[in-house]
Chain A
Amino acid sequence: MLNYILRRLLLMIPVAFGITLAVFLLVRLIPGDPARAILGIHATPALMAAVRTRLGLDRGIGMQYLLYIKHLVQGDFGISYYYGQPVSQLVLTRMVPTLVLLLYSTIISLLIAIPAGLLAGTRQGRGTDHALRVVATAGLGLPSYWTGFILILLFSVTFHIFPIAGYGNTWGARLYNLFLPALTCALNVAPLVMRALRTSLGEALGAGFIDTARAKGLPGNVVLLSHALRVAILPALNVLGLNIGFLVGNTVLVENVFAVPGLGQLMISSIGTRDYPTIQMVTLMFGVIVVLIYLVTDLGQILLDPRVRRSELG
């Protein structure tokens, strides 16, 4: 097991390098000049040239990348052009709200998807199933920035149940404040997980081991939960894992709609100020988070499915 995790973590290194290269080049394709953004109305050609020299932007792009990588492997992610403090500090403080949001929306997704999937999977072809299919398709089709605003309108403006935006200082306040953003993210993921669960549950319920379980005289809910769901949840969790990966991208939008001081918000503001080191590290962090989520998903499969355990761990 430990060997497997180490192998997977080692595989992350080339992926991380790929990300740094792509981001480094893409960032420099954004029209606009960091020197102008820093100097603002004071920009003169001479001052801008001086700033560029100070930031090292006057060198060739290949040289710039090599220097960036050289500092990176030493653990130096650079100084933010805009905030003037080490990027690593900045990113670490902003990472917490994003991770909380991700975990929170994963939990809400499961809380929606498992009961809905059980309902649809046990009533396939009937009214409940069709109704859930319509709701799921709608949830899937609505973009999160739109659902975000609608939820704000409904729960914050009209009914005053949840705050419009913000994060909070205590964990209680944070969970309360982050509920709507997390729900917004979950509404995009839950339908996929629910549909996957519906399909796999249908298959599991038709399998021979369900006959065996019923022939033992087990109560119906035990047959459904500890036999059918126990098997059917595996593909659904895989779908969940894949989609939390996509969810990471979604948090950028949702954090901006709800003013959550996370990585996504930092990323957007840094793009505005052409803060190259910050954009680079935030993107790298997003990449690392996605790869780690996939690792956790695969570890989950290994833990929950003895068949995978044998083929993966030898």
Chain B
Amino acid sequence: MTSPLLAVEHLAIGIPGGEGTVALVEDVSFTVRAGEAYGIVGESGCGKSTTIRAIIRLLAGRAGITSGSIRFDGQDLARADEATLRPLRGAGIGMIFQDPLTALNPVLTVGRQITEGLRYHGTVPSRERRARMQEVMRLVGLPDPARIAASYPHELSGGQRQRAAIAIALVCSPRLLLADEPTTALDVTIQAQILKLLSDLRHRLGMALILVTHDLGVVAQTCDRVAVMYSGRIVEEAPIARIFAAPRHPYTVALLNSIPRGTRAHHPLHPIAGMPPDPAERPRGCSFAPRCPNMQPACERAFPGWTAAAGGGGFACYHPAPGQAEASPDG
């Protein structure tokens, strides 16, 4: 096996405060191979967006990487300076954001915003930029590129805006696309279109994708492997089939139980009781312990170590749900 495109190792992110640093993300490690689609799921505030923003070094406010490394193509982005990061942003790693309404500059034409990246990366000569722009616009399914390129963001629909944002991210052909809840702000029908588009693009362009979402259903449609984050840590990682067939961490189990399953009777919704802990006041042991049905005294003493699971991935839990061999088939 070749070395991975992206290797995040023991990444920790914190906000310096009056009483020491508040840890937003702790000890996060994962790898993404070239062309692979990797999902990160979790509730709001679990650190999933913070983690992928750290990869391209666009952390908000005073948050910063406190330890760990982010190796992309052999370079450690966690310690890179702006001059090293700039050529990578857009050209090596592209990113799309949650809200297509605010992600586009309201006073610049869509075309200008798409070609801008080409201009500063200097990979495409100026007379070919328009052609490249139209090519990428057709790629993301924007009809009538010439007209839309001359439009302003407020003249487009929500779905068109997200397609334009994807075009901006793809115009310099990055090898890794970071998608931070790209469908959350969209209608359900548009959501499905955008997800299908991202999957198609990944296959056609051979690009790797990291998709952050709170929706396991979205991950199921799009990703090869998935990490489940809770309170700043990865609590379970698995190939996509296994996470649905045999989830091991009680939090993953609870997340799956809280997915609405349409008309199936005898499957009432089980919301997870309680709230994730405040990052400033995390329990000493497993941070899911206060909400966990399998909780034992040991869980509150120290954070559980990583256990590798059969078939890839692993989990961080003292008392996991039974594995595939032991699990009773789901009726």
Contact = CB atoms under 8 A, between A and B. Distances in A.
Contacts of A227: 105, 108
Interface in A292-314: 304-307, 310
B102 A208 contact: yes
Given A211-B58, A307-B152, A307-B154, A217 B106 contact: no
Interface range on chain B (Cβ under 8 Å from partner): 20 to 34
B1 to A, nearest CB: 30
A219 B86 contact: yes
Given A215-B95, A218-B120, A219-B120, A209 B103 contact: yes
A211 B168 CA distance: 12
Number of chain A interface residues as a range? 20 to 34
A215 B120 contact: no
Nearest to A309: B152
Contacts of B105: 209, 212-213, 227, 230-231
Contact of A231 (B95, B107, B117, B172): B107
A73 B102 CA distance: 52
Contacts of B74: none
Interface string A217-231: 111101000110011
A217 B103 contact: no
A7 interface: no
Interface string A270-299: 000000000000000000000000000000
A217 B102 contact: no
A217 B91 contact: yes
B169 interface: yes
B235 interface: no
B104 A217 contact: no
A305 B108 CA distance: 9
B97 A208 contact: yes
Given A213-B105, A230-B105, A306 B89 contact: no
A307 B169 contact: no
Contacts of A55: none
B107 A306 contact: yes
A216 B97 contact: no
B154 A215 contact: no
B111 interface: no
Contacts of A1: none
B89 A217 contact: yes
Contact of A217 (B101, B113, B117): B117
A215 B172 CA distance: 12
A207 interface: yes
A31 B82 CA distance: 71
A208 B96 CA distance: 10
A216 B103 contact: no
Nearest to B113: A212
A91 B296 CA distance: 92
A98 to B, nearest CB: 33
A234 B105 CA distance: 13
Most buried by B among A211, A230, A234, A307: A211
Top-5 shortest CB links A-B: A208-B102, A217-B90, A217-B89, A215-B95, A216-B117
7 contacts: A208-B97, A208-B99, A215-B90, A227-B108, A230-B108, A231-B107, A306-B152
Interface of A: 207-209, 211-220, 222, 226-227, 230-231, 234, 304-307, 310
Interface of B: 56, 58, 82, 85-91, 94-95, 97, 99, 101-108, 113, 116-117, 120-121, 152, 154-155, 165, 168-169, 172
